[in-house]
Amino acid sequence: MNIKMEIEYIGTNYSGWQKQANNPTIQEEIENKLETIYKRKITLIGSGRTDSGVHSLNQVANYHTLEKTSLNLISLKNDLNILLGSQIRINKCVEVSKDFHSQHSCKKKTYMYKIKTQSPCSVFEKNRFLFIKKNLDVEKMKDIAQVFIGNHDFINFCKTGYSGKSTKREIYSIRIIKSKKMLEIKIAGNGFLRGMVRLIVGALINYEKDKISKSEILNALGNRGKLKQNLSVPACGLYLYDVKY
């Protein structure tokens, strides 16, 4: 059987999705609980990495198992949620075709970045938003966001250690939604490099603050010059929002 899982998590206390040698990760936590249930090691395949401190509303992962008719997937989900505690939740477990691969089968991925302006974050919002003291000019941010749409080489909008051979990606859309003192930036594309979303959001904010020009952003996108400063925003406001197949 090939089992697909839909997962949400608060990433604050974890060093990202992907398993590491000496740091707690989401993948390792779930694999450990699956091992408790199956009494053997299970390897999860995630739709992609999320960095340390990044959250997820819908991470997708899959794994292969020899068990067939005896496996109750509703019970599996419920048992996992009891073992996992409050920071990680399995929303769905379903059987999929043997060829399904959480990463390679993905057609579209959407990340969301959440910003709170003017009023500081409450204790319930801490580590869930980026707080910016002033109001942001959303129309100005929407204007510059358009330059990122389409196929580009994002070598200057990613961190070192990116996976894969190519740094070219296609951005399908960037939506900026404002409600009262909250701002959501949703970025959809065919894939993302390490730190790419946080650097794009940082470029939007720094452009709005007049700390970076449109020509500097275009030069970086065209690989005609590197950005002069680190524009990356903190991980606390970033969520893996949706994965489509």
- Bridge-partner residues for 188, per DSSP? 110, 173
Helices assigned H by DSSP within the chain: 26-38, 73-84, 138-145, 196-208, 214-221
Query: Rounded to an integer, what distance in angstroms lies between the CA atom of residue 38 and that of residue 36?
Result: 6
Q: In Å, how far from its chain's centre is CA 110? A: 8
114 near 241, Cβ under 8 Å?
Answer: no
Nearest Cα residue to 205 out of 150, 134, 154? 134
Angle of the 73-84 helix axis to the 26-38 helix axis, nearest 10: 120
Cβ-based neighbours of 148, under 8 Å, separated by 6 or more = 171, 174, 187, 200, 221
Please identify which residue in the block is written with the tokens 């452009």. 207
What is the spatial distance between Cα 89 and Cα 80, in angstroms, rounded to a whole number?
8
**Residue keyed to tokens 């794994």:** 63
DSSP 225: S
Question: For the purposes of burial, counting CB atoms within 10 Å of the CB of 237, is it exposed (0-12), middle (13-18) or buried (19 or more)?
Answer: buried
Catalytic residues: 51
